Structure formats: C-alpha cells, structure tokens
C-alpha cells in the first residue's frame, strides 16, 4: 500500500478554532495524506517528513468557509448593459435573470474556475455554491465540479430550481439536482457535496415545491434556498399563499439541519423561531444585501433565538475576512450601537460556518484537530498586543484581516505557497479564455 505523504508546519502560532479554541505557541501541525495527524509541541517532531513549511511570523488557521456563493456571476464584472434598477426585483429582471439565460456550459466552467483560483489566494478552502443557467441546465453541476476538482478546493453545489422559465426548465432543474446528489452519494468524494437548490419562494409554485421537496427528502438531501432576501418576497407570499416565506418552506418540509436559508433579511419573530426549532442554518450576506439595498439581516436577534447563522458572500467576494468586517459594521448601523454584535458577527466565520459545513463533511472542517481534513491557511501576522484565545477574535477582525495570506492547503495538498499558486493551472490562460467567452456572452446579453 502506498504511504500517505507527510507535511509538517512549524514555528507558526497555531489557532485551532473549533469548540475548544486554543492559541498554541511553540507547536507544530503534522499532516498525513488528507488529514491532520497530530498537533503537539514542536520538539515532539524529530523525524523526516516529505515536506516542511516554516511558518515563522505567521498564524496557522483552519481554511475559511463561504456559506453562500454564486460562481456563475463572475462574467458580469464590468458589464454596463443592464438598465438602472430602482428595487431588487428590477435588479433580478434587468441583470441576473438576463445573464443566467445566456450562459453556456463553457461559461459555467470558467465562471467557477476563476473565483476558485481567487479563493485559494484568500485562504478560502470550502465554498457552498448556488448555480443557475436556465438554458444550459443539464450537466452544469458536473462542469462546475470539474473546476472544483482542478482547484483542489472543496465545494457543495446545487442547481437553482425555479418556475420563472417555464415547466420544462423547472423539470430539468429537478433532474439536475437529483443527478448530482446521486453522483456525490455514489462517489463519496471529499471535495464534492450536493444540496437541492431552490431559487426563492416567490418564483416556485406549490406544485414544483412539492416535487422538489419529495425528491430532496427521498435522497436525504438538504436544501439551499434564498429566503426573504427582499420585502417583496414576503409580500408575494402573503398575497399568493397566505403565509410568510419561512412558514411556507416549513409546510413543505424544506427546513431542517441540512438546509441553508440564504439572506433572511425580512423574517419575523415566528420565522426565526421556526428556523431555530428545525435547526435550519442561515447564510448572512451583508455586502450583497447592502449593494441591492434590501436591508440588513438582524443576526443578533436570530442568534438570541438560537438560529445558526453563518457568513456567505453571495459572489461579492471570496475574501471572507472582508465580508466579516462589513458584517460587524452593518450590525452597528442597524442597531445604532457601536458596541453591539461583535461576538455574533465574528462567530459566523470563526465557528458557525464550520458547524454548517460539517452537516455535509462529517465534522472534519473548520478546526485544527487530529483526524480533521488538513485544510489550513498561513497568514502573515506579528501580534502587536497579547494574542490568545480570549483576544483572538479582536485580532482576526482588526489585524489578521488586514494581512496577507501566504500559504493555502486543502486536504493536505499545498495549493499556494509563499503567495505562489501550485495548482498546475495557467492563470493567465484561464483569464484569457474567460475574456473571450465574456465578450460573446455580453454580445448575447
């Protein structure tokens, strides 16, 4: 049997995170194959290893996790052809629903590969994506999965089911979700997981929602759905279904511990209680919500209700530390209180995203511990003030977030070292091909 390669990371400040976060000095991390084998005082390790990384002047952290992403939006960067939009519905109609209908499978592949490369540069090793390409549904998740495999990162994928493009495309959406979920269950590939994707309550009929719920539950899958992102979603549901968004999902059995409700900007007390009672996770996306002028989700109230709230970027960035800081400032503004929300905002990235992702990856993400996946990031940082478990979150927000990612490792594989990519991918070539495709896409827009 071929022996797994070993990787030793030494001389850094090890921050374990997880349920018992520790800040360890004079310790080293030994990786063997895809997993962390041992974390112990540096002097413990005297053997020979296949690779040794000197992390002097760096903090050693678990790789970051993004709880809500849209790879497919990559090629909209710089596009000025969409009409100005006065509200969120017009943003969807003038930009996103025009764009997604123009995507080809090649577009889907390169739209994923580029942000995945960028994620490596920013220490993000796991992404939970939500995809839409209504005229290129079948096989779209497989081409995105190909990009994920090439990047060396891990991702949970789903297809955005909706009735907005007609019954045939809705059926294809159900079939695409079903096929990819079955693929992931069959292959049991550590890099890939699947959820059953839904767009939003206001674009899904009762008939389609029931079919999707039956299909997802029969496969033991959770769901990934936009939830009360704008007030218009609630207004539509009350008018057409005589219930609020979360209540409708609860009625159809969509909620649960494997389900992610993205946004939840406009949920009331009872909806928060339903999310908490069912163990449904929320993915908060503050930059996107403010960019679309839909509001700021009250993550403090949700946390007080017992809702598990994680942090996504909704494709605004793959830099989780950038999103983290915005999340905190947004809570200060929402509550007109510069002293509120620190633990709620920082915990989303530091702890809660791992709790969400571990519903799919069996407890092996988001903490440096023996047996966990060796998803590790090294960030340049010399603490200028006391640095321990009690002060770590302050350093994360106000210091580490302003520092550079030096090395990114996923499943024990070094994807970037000393700020140089090790992916075996020609980044310039990928960018050039994307440019060619984007010009054609924009011409079709």
348-374 residue pLDDT tens: 999 999 999 999 999 999 999 999 999
Averaged pLDDT of the chain: 97
Domain ends where: 357, 382, 413? 357
Same domain membership, residue 405 and residue 280:
no
443 domain-assigned: no
440 domain-assigned: no
- Which burial class, exposed, middle or buried, applies to 248 when counting CB atoms under 10 A from its CB (0-12, 13-18, 19+)? buried
Domain ends where: 303, 325, 357? 357
Count other C-beta atoms under 10 Å from residue 363's C-beta: 16
What pLDDT, on a 0 to 100 scale, did the predictor assign at position 171? Answer: 98
Same domain membership, residue 182 and residue 104:
yes
119 domain-assigned: yes
What pLDDT, on a 0 to 100 scale, did the predictor assign at position 47? Answer: 85
- Residue 53 structural domain: 6-63+367-421
Q: Read off the tokens for 104.
A: 């080809």
Q: 207-237, pLDDT tens digit by residue?
A: 999 999 999 999 999 999 999 999 999 999 9
Count other C-beta atoms under 10 Å from residue 224's C-beta: 29
The secondary element (H helix, E strand) that includes residue 171 is: helix 167-187
H helical segments located in 242-366: 245-251, 269-278, 286-291, 299-305, 320-335, 342-347, 353-357
Mean pLDDT of 184-206: 98
Distances, alpha carbon 3 to alpha carbons 49, 52, 236, 303, 306, in Å: 12, 17, 58, 45, 44
Q: Is the pLDDT of residue 180 over 80?
A: yes
One-character DSSP codes across 230-244:
SHHHHHHHHHHHSS-
329 domain-assigned: yes
Same domain membership, residue 87 and residue 10:
no
What pLDDT, on a 0 to 100 scale, did the predictor assign at position 27? Answer: 98
Sign of CA dihedral 335, 336, 337, 342: positive
Same domain membership, residue 176 and residue 103:
yes
The answer to whether residues 283 and 128 touch, using CB atoms and an 8 Å cutoff, is yes
Q: Could you give the CA distance from residue 248 to residue 237 in angstroms, rounded to a whole number?
A: 8
Can you state the percent helix, strand and coil of the chain, rounding each to 5?
Answer: 40, 20, 35
Q: Could you give the CA distance from residue 93 to residue 165 in angstroms, rounded to a whole number?
A: 12
Same domain membership, residue 334 and residue 194:
yes
CATH code of the domain containing 237: 3.20.20.140
Mean pLDDT of 67-96: 94
Same domain membership, residue 265 and residue 342:
yes
The answer to whether residues 192 and 171 touch, using CB atoms and an 8 Å cutoff, is no
Q: 376-420, pLDDT tens digit by residue?
A: 999 999 999 999 999 999 999 999 999 999 999 999 999 999 999
433 domain-assigned: no
430 domain-assigned: no
Same domain membership, residue 406 and residue 326:
no
Residue whose token pair is 């929402």: 334
Distances, alpha carbon 210 to alpha carbons 49, 138, 324, in Å: 54, 21, 36
Q: Name the nearest CA neighbour of 180 among 148, 209, 227, 207.
A: 148
Q: What are phi and psi of 377, to 5 degrees?
A: -125, 140
Q: Read off the tokens for 150.
A: 């090439």
- Of the CA atoms within 13 Å of residue 56, those in its CB half-sphere come to 2
pTM of the entire predicted model: 0.98
Q: What are phi and psi of 332, to 5 degrees?
A: -60, -45
User: In percent, how much of the chain has pLDDT > 90?
Assistant: 98
What pLDDT, on a 0 to 100 scale, did the predictor assign at position 81? Answer: 85
Same domain membership, residue 82 and residue 56:
no
Same domain membership, residue 113 and residue 50:
no
Q: Could you give the CA distance from residue 257 to residue 280 in angstroms, rounded to a whole number?
A: 5
Same domain membership, residue 353 and residue 377:
no
Q: Read off the tokens for 410.
A: 């996923």
1 domain-assigned: no
Q: What are phi and psi of 417, to 5 degrees?
A: -140, 130
Same domain membership, residue 201 and residue 183:
yes
Q: Could you give the CA distance from residue 100 to residue 112 in angstroms, rounded to a whole number?
A: 14
Q: Is the pLDDT of residue 1 over 70?
A: no
Same domain membership, residue 194 and residue 57:
no
The answer to whether residues 284 and 297 touch, using CB atoms and an 8 Å cutoff, is yes
74 domain-assigned: yes
First to last CA, the chain: 54
Q: Which is it for strands 27-32 and 23-24: parallel, antiparallel or unpaired?
A: unpaired
| Number of independent structural domains in the chain | 2
H helical segments located in 188-268: 206-218, 231-241, 245-251
Helix axes 167-187, 206-218, angle to 10 degrees: 10
């Amino acid at each position: 049997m071929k022996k797994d390669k070993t990787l030793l990371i030494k001389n850094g400040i090890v921050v374990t995170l997880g349920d018992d976060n520790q800040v360890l000095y004079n310790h080293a991390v030994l990786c063997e194959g895809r997993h962390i084998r041992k974390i112990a005082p540096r002097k413990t390790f005297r053997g020979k290893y296949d690779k040794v990384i000197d992390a002097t002047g760096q903090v050693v952290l678990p790789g970051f996790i993004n709880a809500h992403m849209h790879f497919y939006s990559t090629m909209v960067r710089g596009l000025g052809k969409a009409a100005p939009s006065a509200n969120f519905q017009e943003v969807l109609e003038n930009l996103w629903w025009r764009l997604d209908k123009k995507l080809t499978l090649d577009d889907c592949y390169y739209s994923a590969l580029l942000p995945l490369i960028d994620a490596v540069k920013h220490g993000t090793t796991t992404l939970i994506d939500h995809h839409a390409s209504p005229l290129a549904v079948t096989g779209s998740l497989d081409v995105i999965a190909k990009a994920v495999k090439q990047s060396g990162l891990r991702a949970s994928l789903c297809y955005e089911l909706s009735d907005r493009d007609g019954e045939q495309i809705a059926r294809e959406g159900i079939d695409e979700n079903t096929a990819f979920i079955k693929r992931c269950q069959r292959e049991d590939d550590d890099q890939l997981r699947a959820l059953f994707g839904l767009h939003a309550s206001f674009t899904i009929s009762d008939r389609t929602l029931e079919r999707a719920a039956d299909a997802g539950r029969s496969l033991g899958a959770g769901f990934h759905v936009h939830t009360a992102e704008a007030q218009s979603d609630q207004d539509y549901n009350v008018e057409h279904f005589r219930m609020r968004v979360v209540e409708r999902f609860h009625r159809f059995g969509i909620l649960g511990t494997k389900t992610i409700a993205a946004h939840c900007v406009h949920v009331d007390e009872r909806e928060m209680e339903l999310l908490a009672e069912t163990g449904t996770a929320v993915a908060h996306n503050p930059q996107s919500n403010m960019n679309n002028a839909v509001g700021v989700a009250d993550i403090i109230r949700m946390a007080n209700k017992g809702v598990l709230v994680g942090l996504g970027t909704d494709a605004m960035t793959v830099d989780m530390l950038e999103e983290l800081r915005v999340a905190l400032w947004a809570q200060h503004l929402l509550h007109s209180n510069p002293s509120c929300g620190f633990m709620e905002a920082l915990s989303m990235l530091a702890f809660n995203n791992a709790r969400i992702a571990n519903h799919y990856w069996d407890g092996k993400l988001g903490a440096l511990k023996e047996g966990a996946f060796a998803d590790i990031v090294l960030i340049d940082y010399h603490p200028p003030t006391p640095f321990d478990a009690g002060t770590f979150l302050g350093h994360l927000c106000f210091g580490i977030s302003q520092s550079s990612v030096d090395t990114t490792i996923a499943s024990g594989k070094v994807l970037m070292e000393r700020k140089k990519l090790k992916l075996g991918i020609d980044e310039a070539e990928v960018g050039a091909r994307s440019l060619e495709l984007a010009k054609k896409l924009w011409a079709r827009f």
